[in-house]
A and B are shown apart, each in its own frame.
Chain A
Amino acid sequence: MRDFYSFKNVYIEEKIKDHPNTIKILGKINKNNLIYVENTNTLIKETSRIIHPGERSQNLLLSSFKGELLQKCPGSHGHICCNYNVINQYIGCPIDCSYCILQSYLNQPFTIINTDTDTLFEHLHELHENVNDCKIRIGTGELGDSLVYDPITDFSEQYIDFFGKHKKFIFEFKTKTNFIGNILARENPGNIVVGFSVNPECITKSEEKNSTPLIERLKAAGELQKKGYMIALHFDPIIFMENWREEYNNLIEIIFRYVMPQKIIWISLGTFRYIPDLKTRMEFNYPDSRLLTGEFFENADKKFRYLKMIRQEIYKTIYNKLNTYGDNLNIYLCMESPDVWKRSLGKLPGDFDDKLLWSNPGRLCSCPASSTADRDMGR
């Protein structure tokens, strides 16, 4: 695994140069060149270009939050959405997964860490005071890994402390690491989830270059469960390969050697899909990857997916296997149509038990954070 905390260049926005979080991060990283910048928007505009993700993670920008602090995951037109609201705490990721959509989303030549968490928490506190009695699902795993930089930021401690006092929110760290030291050191306030991406080892080794090995991730998940935390598992992207059935069945068996099914809050399933631009980026950034040699069909939302009947069979197989470990597992599909839900799982999100926080997307609450859910449900 490469050293995530050595940077060629570290850009620091003047505005947050004296922020305690900035000072702490600077004290923990290896850096060659410190550059102070007045206006990060200008810096991003002037330096943006097509870039290999590995190059992006060699440079760091410590910045203040810009724009909307809490955004709704855009989902996909005509597909059911899991109501995930995102905080862009980290923008960029050093884990270097061949299939990562950030290759298409980002073009700045540095990873961004927003250090003014106080600004974020003020905003979230205000939102919390103004929402109905409901649960809002929030995470930091959209534009970066939630924990890969935690050893230098310690932000997870602040997140646990904040969300522990704001129980209308449920917060999920999503990661491909086992960097859970800070979380284990805190008591679980009850509304913190740690989600782990999982895939067979043949995929984690070939397609997730700098990720923590699968077993180490699962061990971390088990430790968190013992400490009282709920965990989540994300089978995403599921790869349709020659021996997929055997690989995913084995994976599930391995998972339950390390984690307790009753302490899994939710499990997501999503087969590999891509937008045309991602394909172009992958071909150049990861020429050895074989993921794109699958047979894909362009769907109405302009994303390419495996044939519907293949996806359906994959979901059904994994769902049935998972269910042998417990009837009450909350399993959902990521960005799939209602028809695929029905054909694969035999039900729609609304058919789940009420205990599932995201179970009824669009009806969780009427707060601004969820206002676009109906659109994403395709209604």
Chain B
Amino acid sequence: MAIELSSSIKNNLTFIELSDFIITNNLIKNETTPFNIALQSKENEDYITLYDNKNEYTFVIDADFDKGYIFFISSFIDKTKINPLLSHRLIEFFISKTDNKEELNPIFTALSWTLGSKGLILHNAFNDFSDELRHLVAQKKVSINEAYIFHTAFLSGYDPLLKMIDDKLSFSTKNAILRELSEISKKYGTGAEKLAAEIRAKSTDGMELTEIIREMRFPFQTKYAGKLESYIAGLTAKCKGTSINYSKPLEEEDYTLNIKFNSRSNLREKLSALIKNIDSGSGEDLFKLDTLFKDLEI
């Protein structure tokens, strides 16, 4: 079966139906062999042939390579299903064949890849990722952006850190962990091996990893928000349905008290318990920033 996509018939094809069929049966499932898209050119003739690896379909596009390739991708690749590994290979193939290596935005756009110089940086870095990291990206378990930041922070030897990340953690948590590990390494100049050992010394439970790393990355936040949380927990003890909200960046002395109650006597009980808690404390007012941060040393 062959379909000729000359400019005169392009408008008469039902691309969506054809695209779904091709993607489902060939390209996406067979992501490790994207080079089923091949370039054939006859002497002095300006057309390319793109065919799938089973050779069931052949597309002859009456255009130069750049336009033909991008036309093919735009028409037959479902951008919502494609994974970064296949995108990377399709871009690599394009770069290897195009004469205009300066202008890659059309292929990036066709594949929903990051545009501009950042897109090229990501593409080039992808080859240098460890197999483990590339696998995580291909499986869409971490974003390519975070993988890049992580890779550039450590460059190599970082697989032990990746293996510590529990697979059950969400996509965003995994990304946050990669980011925080990168920033810890950069800040303290700690290599991957040493950092992995430091974390293991604190806990080997993969699910606890998030808290441990967060504490290492944000020591002030962990310490002072934790101090305030404990203080609030003490004040609201035995007052079920009572909470105190505060400004998360710890900028303002501006707090809100919420009390859930169902009757006048219930409200009195809760207010009494709150007052009792306030009176029985050490007298220290941690709602005042100067008091909360009195041991801050910088």
Contacts and interface: CB of A to CB of B under 8 A. Distances in A.
Interface string A232-249: 000000001000100000
A308 to B, nearest CB: 5
Given A49-B116, A50-B118, A339-B252, A295 B221 contact: yes
A52 B186 contact: no
Contacts of A55: 117
Interface in A282-297: 283-284, 287, 290, 292-295, 297
B219 interface: yes
Contacts of A52: 117
B186 A297 contact: no
A284 B220 contact: no
B237 interface: no
Contacts of A300: 247, 249, 251
A298 B149 contact: no
Interface string B132-161: 000000000000010001001000000000
Chain B interface extent, by class: 20 to 34
Contacts of A240: 298
A225 to B, nearest CB: 34
Nearest to A287: B152
A308 B249 contact: yes
* Chief secondary structure at chain B's binding surface: helix
A290 B250 contact: no
With a 10 A CB-CB cut-off, give which of A52, A280, A295 has the most chain B CB atoms. Answer: A295
B296 interface: yes
Given A295-B220, A297-B221, A308 B116 contact: no
A305 B116 contact: no
A300 B247 CA distance: 9
A297 B187 contact: no
B15 interface: no
Nearest to B149: A283
A44 interface: no
Contacts of A49: 105, 115-116
A292 B186 CA distance: 9
A216 interface: no
Interface string B186-229: 11000000000000000000000000000001111100100000
Contact of A297 (B118, B184, B217, B251): B251
A297 B249 contact: yes
Nearest to A280: B145
Contacts of B119: 50
B293 interface: yes
Interface of B: 105, 114-119, 121, 145, 149, 152, 183-184, 186-187, 217-221, 224, 247-252, 289, 293, 296, 298
